[in-house]
Amino acid sequence: MTAETQTARDRHPQPAAAAGTALLLLAGLLAATWSTANPQPITRAELTLRINPNHATAAELQLLPGIGPTLAEYIVEYRENAAAKPAFRNADDLAYVHRIGPTTVERIREMLRFDSDEPPRDATP
């Protein structure tokens, strides 16, 4: 075997090794795709994230599905300008915020929490 032949062999990997590497890459890609394409639903007990729209920052509000930067700012603005405090007594009160409708309210309802020990809006101190 000459040095020239050995150099050519070093430059071209064995077909079996190349096929094995390609097969491993394909298997990894398929496994990654399957695991993200079929996420397991979480149960209500597993859902621990509860956001209080009366105190959450705009960044925290964006953790809610369907609430992006603009809607989060609308919620904060509404809360800060609301005459009654707290601005949101329940999830349905979010429908008063510009561009938030009943579909969005229903989507995020289970992820919200509210101050249950707040006095009624018309109560005097």
- Identity at 92, one-letter amino acid code: D
Where does the pLDDT of residue 125 fall: very low under 50, low under 70, confident under 90, or very high at 90 and above?
very low
pTM for this model (two decimals): 0.57
Tell me which of 95 and 20 has the higher pLDDT: 95
Q: 93 to each of 21, 69, 71, 86, 90, how far by Cα in Å?
A: 57, 19, 14, 10, 6
What is the tens place of the pLDDT at every residue in 103-120? 999 999 999 999 874 445
Evaluate whether residue 70 is within a structural domain: yes
User: What tokens were used for 120?
Assistant: 């009624």
- Based on the structure, what is the number of domains in the chain? 1
Evaluate whether residue 91 is within a structural domain: yes
Range of the domain at 86: 58-111
Distance of alpha carbon 89 from alpha carbon 114, whole angstroms: 6
Three-state DSSP class for residue 51: strand
Evaluate whether residue 30 is within a structural domain: no
Evaluate whether residue 20 is within a structural domain: no
What is the tens place of the pLDDT at every residue in 59-105? 999 999 999 999 999 999 999 999 999 999 999 999 999 999 999 99
Confidence at residue 112, expressed as pLDDT on a 0 to 100 scale: 96
